Structure formats: structure tokens, C-alpha cells
Amino acid sequence: MCRLLAYLGSSIQLNRILYKPEHSLIVQSYQPKEMTAGVVNADGLGVGWYHPRQDVEPFTYKNTLPIWNDTNLPELSRYVESGCVLAYIRSATPGQGLDVGNCQPFRRDRLLFTHNGFISNFRQSLYRPIRDRLSDEIYQSIHGTTDSEHIFALLVNELQAFPNCSIQKALHNTLTTLTQLAKEYQVSFSANVVVSDGHCLIASRHAYGTSTPTLYWLSDNPNYPDSVIIASEPLFAGNWHSCPEGSIINVKKNLDVCIEQLI
């Protein structure tokens, strides 16, 4: 069970959100408090961020090392500033390879995507049914082997099929499809997801047939004014809100937070 983090707001150095909090992702990598499966998150890491220029696609940095062993990220995070950041530490599902191609965030055009969760017995259950629903272009774009990347492919396929569809609606439809498939093939899944285009954060806390991983949001903390943070676990003491189970959280460009209950 991985840990994820997302930030939207005024521009900050990456190290302020990655390293400074007392319960940062670095601490969560070896001492998580609220994981429902696994003990540590030592199977890789990833960070994605957006440049203020609107014509530049987001940047990503990934490594298969445990985040506490990565000597480049501390230097990079002191140099880079951004107003929209997605970060992730990995606890690999058994059978899914330790490979940079399996590290998140996944990216397509301006979209960044992270997922904390799993599809049970993925290769034997929903691997083929998900691929059968993809256009050839999206099918060919999958480079890794994880259930996470296939969920992202479903989302991208939804946006491609319906160009006027919002990210929130596309995520809603993706989770609906996953739930229908899980019922049909009698498998469980959990899908705490964060996706962004650099202007908003769209997140979900959802599961079927299993417990739902934790997810929290925080707005306008004195140490992080004019911002919203979404995280698997609170990064520090503050007015964190637990995201409701079976919901989608929409953090808009103006930092308003709206919650939609999934049916």
C-alpha cells in the first residue's frame, strides 16, 4: 500500500512539502501510521510538478530506490519551485516488478496521475477486461505492468472518447467502470487516486470489497497559506479533514474544495 501527496497553491520549493513536515513522505516510507497492507514503502518514488508556463508539460522525477536512499532528490527539491506537485512512495504489490516504468506519477500530455491501492489478482482478473476497453492508441501507451497504470489508461481513454468531459467526470466514470468489472469478476479493489492538469486536483477515496485506504485534505494551514494539500496521512499537526469513503474531491483553481459522493 503506497503513500501519496498532492499540493496546489502558491509556488513553493519542493523540499518544503517533501522534507520539512515532521511526518513527511520520507518518514512515511519507513514509519507509516495508517497503512492497511505492507510495512514500509521502499520500492521506489516519484515526484511530478508543473512549470508556471502553460505550454510546458509537467516534469517527473522517478527512482526505484527507497526515498531515504535517494541522494539526488534532496538537491533537486531545493532547486525546483512549483504551485502544483504530486508525489508518491511505493510499496509494490507482490508480483509487480521493481522498475522505473512502474513508478508513479504517470503522465500523459498535461495530466499527472497517482494511485494508492490495488486490484486483487490483477493479472488473472481485470488485466484483460480493462485492456479490452481501451482504444488502440491508449492500449499501446501502457509501458509498465501495474494495475495503477491500467486505471490511468481507463481514465485517459474516457477523456479521449469524450473530449468535453471534465477530469472529475472522467474519474467518476472510471471508478464506475472499475466497480462494475469488480462485481462481474468477483474481485476487490481500492482506488485512492489523485490526478491533475496543473490547475486543479481531482482525488478519490474509493474501494469495493475491501477496506478503503485513508486520505486527508488540509486548506490554508499557517505554514502553507493559500494552498490545499491532499495526503494519505497527515504530514503534521493541523486541521486535517478525512475524505469521506466513496467520494471524489475536487480542488479547484481558486482552491475551493468540493466533495462529490459516489453512487
Catalytic choice (2, 84, 103, 200): 2
**Torsion region of 107: left, alpha or beta (phi above 0 gives left; psi -120 to 50 gives alpha):** beta
Strand partners, 254: none
**Gap between the Cα atoms of 160 and 157, Å rounded:** 5
Q: Would you say 117 and 189 are in contact if contact means Cβ atoms under 8 Å apart?
A: yes
2 classed as catalytic: yes
Q: Would you say 13 and 78 are in contact if contact means Cβ atoms under 8 Å apart?
A: yes
Which residue has 490554508 as its cell numbers? 220
Helix (H/G/I), strand (E/B), else coil: 101: helix
∠ CA(21), CA(255), CA(211), 5° rounding?
65
How many Cα atoms sit within 13 Å of 184 on the Cβ side?
A: 10
Active-site residue set: 2
